[in-house]
Copies of this chain bind each other. A is one copy, B any other.
Amino acid sequence: MDIGKALVVGTGLIGTSVALALRERGVAVYLADVDAHAVRVAGELGAGLRWSGQGVDLAVIAVPPHAVAARLAELQRRGAARAYTDVASVKAGPVADARRLGCDLVSYVPGHPLAGREVSGPAAGRADLFAGRPWALCPGPEAGADALDLARELVSLCGAEAVTVDAGAHDSAVALVSHAPHVVASAVAASLAGGDDTALGLAGQGLRDVTRIAAGDPVLWRSILAGNTLPVAGVLERVAADLTAAAAALRSGDLDTVADLLGRGVRGHGRIPGARGRVLSG
């Protein structure tokens, strides 16, 4: 095992979950956060010990996207770790920031575990949060073999599946499969504000599933979307165009156009790996 000691910077939901997963696999974990209370909570959960400058093999930067590069630069100045990764939901922005700040890109492998919960904070952390999930790794052309090995070992220790992908392609991909769907779920949930209690009382599992992610932390999601504006806008425009056309078709009684959208939806749904039938509301 190459990761004997790890540092987790940012003990929110994701950072604490990474720390808990590493602890379960016997890694010595140190914790840091600008919020001393968050570190204390994570420590009480068994996620590790408060960091006081110890050198580690891998530092995992688990802070919001816009803050990743500054934290990376600071840790690299201190020589805190052999290698560095992060877990931010967007990758091109933090990589560009890191380049601009003069970070060492040999020891940095940007990452993004595709897992989360709609609750936040260290107390929501779970060692099995990443089990079986994809975890994107976006090494730049400069990335060294040692850093890449350590990042891959992190993914493996967390029980996730590494997917290597270019940072730009990653951001387009998550716009399609995560960020735009989140905004769409928010729009459906927002439409419920106008419904009366009887209407809401008829809600079934289908509505709960469509809107579940809309309960996510708006501050975090604002930050995620701010780092991926154009790819998300492109997907939202296509979805909005389909919905506008469907509404016009319904008003004019053109059910063929609506049926075409339903058919494309079935085919698109079939492209999701592991999508299977479960119980839903009618």
Contact = CB atoms under 8 A, between A and B. Distances in A.
A1 interface: no
A272 to B, nearest CB: 5
A36 B183 CA distance: 46
A214 B173 contact: no
Assembly stoichiometry (copies): 2
A274 B116 CA distance: 21
Contacts of A225: 250, 255, 258
A181 interface: yes
A28 B237 CA distance: 54
A264 B186 contact: yes
A243 interface: yes
A contacts with B: majority SS:
helix
Interface stretch (A2-10, A42-50, A196-204): A196-204
B212 A267 contact: no
Contacts of A187: 184, 239, 242-243, 246, 261, 265
A67 interface: no
Contacts of A198: 163, 165, 169, 173
A51 interface: no
Nearest to A216: B280
A155 B268 CA distance: 36
Given A237-B244, A262-B222, A282 B185 contact: no
B163 A181 contact: no
A249 to B, nearest CB: 8
A70 interface: no
A100 interface: no
B181 A206 contact: yes
A266 interface: yes
A133 B279 CA distance: 12
A190 B268 contact: yes
Contacts of A243: 183-184, 187, 236-237, 239-240, 243
A75 interface: no
Contact of A134 (B201, B212, B248): B201
